[in-house]
Amino acid sequence: DQQVKQNSPSLSVQEGRISILNCDYTNSMFDYFLWYKKYPAEGPTFLISISSIKDKNEDGRFTVFLNKSAKHLSLHIVPSQPGDSAVYFCAARTTSGTYKYIFGTGTRLKVLA
């Protein structure tokens, strides 16, 4: 049972435009959400996170939006750059219990120059 889902396996965006990556989750106990970026042959790198008490968090070109009622989060990258081309994973965690981080299946973003 995949509790965190990224339904778009890939996305292509023109350089300078906005990239929007989406993520859905099913467990209402999740209260901390994260986005990671992964280049080939490297480990996932933490990008940005948001707690369930917020609906938006911004860090430079990256903004994460959380819609708790829809159990949906998204990552906006503006403006997109060729160096942003990578696989992006969303993840979610509950604060209680074992602090297990559950990952989505990833979306491959290609930013075209």
Partner 1 sequence: DTAVSQTPKYLVTQMGNDKSIKCEQNLGHDTMYWYKQDSKKFLKIMFSYNNKELIINETVPNRFSPKSPDKAHLNLHINSLELGDSAVYFCASSLRAYNSPLHFGNGTRLTVT
Q: Which residues here bind partner 1, judged by CB under 8 A?
A: 32, 34, 36, 41-46, 49, 51, 87, 89, 91, 95, 98-103, 105-106
Residue burial 32-46, b: 16+ Cβ < 10 Å; e: rest: bbbbbbeeeeeebee
Instruction: State the nearest-atom distance from the C-beta of 55 to partner 1, in Å.
Output: 16
Cβ closest to partner 1, residue 38 vs residue 79: 38
- 76 close to 19: Cβ distance less than 8 angstroms: yes
Instruction: State the nearest-atom distance from the C-beta of 43 to partner 1, in Å.
Output: 3
Contacts of 39 (CB under 8 A, 6+ apart): 45, 86
Cβ closest to partner 1, residue 69 vs residue 98: 98
Instruction: State the nearest-atom distance from the C-beta of 32 to partner 1, in Å.
Output: 6
